[in-house]
Amino acid sequence: MESNLGFLIKNSVFFAFQVLKYQIKNEEEFAMKEQSKVIELNKKKVEKQTEVYEFERFDESVRVLEHGTNFSDIEDRKLEIIAP
């Protein structure tokens, strides 16, 4: 009877570790997927900011041509707005 009880305990502990290992693996995979989603969203955000900056820069350069403003002053101002 003791050998059967020891065998059951041993198998139960082994099974519990296998389940725990499986859960950890799933949580790691889920975390990696979530992290990749966040990275993709950040890339899109940066791309959007770049598009907006490029458009604003083009718009300002057109204004410079129209009004004769110093372009380097505008560039400095844009850098302060985008990268505080």
* Contact assessment for residue 43 and residue 53, using Cβ atoms and an 8 Å cutoff: no
pLDDT tens figures, 10-64: 899 999 999 999 999 999 999 999 999 999 998 888 888 887 777 777 777 666 5
- Kindly indicate the confidence band of residue 66, based on its pLDDT and cuts at 50, 70 and 90: low
In angstroms, rounded to a whole number, what is the distance separating the alpha carbons of residues 75 and 64?
11
Quote the pLDDT of residue 49: 81
Evaluate whether 56 touches 78 at the Cβ level (below 8 Å).
yes
User: Tokens 């302060």, residue?
Assistant: 80
Output the pLDDT for position 3: 79
78 vs 48, higher pLDDT? 48
Residues in the chain: 84
pLDDT band at residue 68 under the 50/70/90 scheme: low
C-alpha 79/C-alpha 75 separation (Å) is 6
